[in-house]
Amino acid sequence: MFALVGHPIRHSLSPAMHNELFRRKGIDAVYVALDVKPDLAESVAGSIRTLALAGCNLTVPFKERVIPALDELSEAASCAGAVNVVLNREGRLQGHNTDGEGYLRALREELGIDPTGRDCAILGAGGTGRAVAAALAEAGVASACFFNRSPDRAEAAVAALAPRFPAVRLEAAPLDPAAFRARPWGIVVNCLSGGGMDALRALDVSHLPRGAAWTDANYWMADPPQLVACAGRGVRIQRGIGMLMHQGALSFELFTGVQVDTDTIRGVLDIGGW
């Protein structure tokens, strides 16, 4: 048994995606969704052991809060300071993060963009934002600036990543229009949760150059803010479903040892009209 642990999770496509992949690959497994109250975060790791889950995906708000209770962290998870995959190996819990690599694969496959040398704006400094920023830094971007409603959290993300990527200019800024206009960003990544949508709508995208990319790590909104405005300016846009497909494929491989390609994932997500 595998699971998704988060709150809220009703919108998630992960259970349908993984269960259909299990069926197609002939794997005797099931994937369930567990909506866990945020104040029970400290119980998540113990519950994985108690329920003998083979593994799970984590989403908001557990990606960072579960780390102290894990036995091992992958390099990607350690760098991001967040975990979205936990593997249970005979009671020993391993934390992984597929968000950053999933984002990079989607960026390259869907938009054909090489991030090397680009200036990047990361909207949100939580676990997803840090994972994406770390992957972009590893790929050789010139700079990455965290924009967050809480500047302290953005500064903490910079402090955590800067020693690992000395060649990349890492910065922190408040999530406001004046700070966002400071540079003509080559890549913008929206990693904000639902509570940040008003701040996102307030940003002015008129200074983004043609050929820039506005990408969204979230797939759960039917009409995410700024996508239409960016497309109208000739800025390339990407919805979060691509990142979901790639990080999901990477998660499935960690769970089962079986690789799946993006064409297979697309076919699975087409089931039910998605």
Q: What Å distances lie between residue 218 and 34, 115, 215, 260, CA to CA?
A: 20, 20, 9, 22
Q: Tokens 């039917």 — which residue? A: 222
- Distance from C-alpha of 16 to C-alpha of 252, rounded to nearest angstrom: 13
Q: What Å distances lie between residue 79 and 99, 120, 131, 148, 230, CA to CA?
A: 12, 18, 7, 19, 31
Under 8 Å between Cβ of 268 and 128: no
Identify the CA nearest to 79 among candidates 98, 102, 62, 66. 98
Q: What are 203's two structure tokens?
A: 């940003």
3 state DSSP class of 182: coil
Choose the catalytic residue: 56, 58, 63, 107: 63
φ, ψ of residue 168 to 5 degrees: the values are: -105, 135
Give the CA dihedral 230, 17, 98, 247, nearest 10 degrees.
Answer: -40
Q: Is 63 an annotated catalytic residue?
A: yes
Q: Tokens 């992957």 — which residue? A: 135
> What is 24-42 written as a DSSP string?
HHT----EEEEE--GGGGG
Residues belonging to the active site: 63
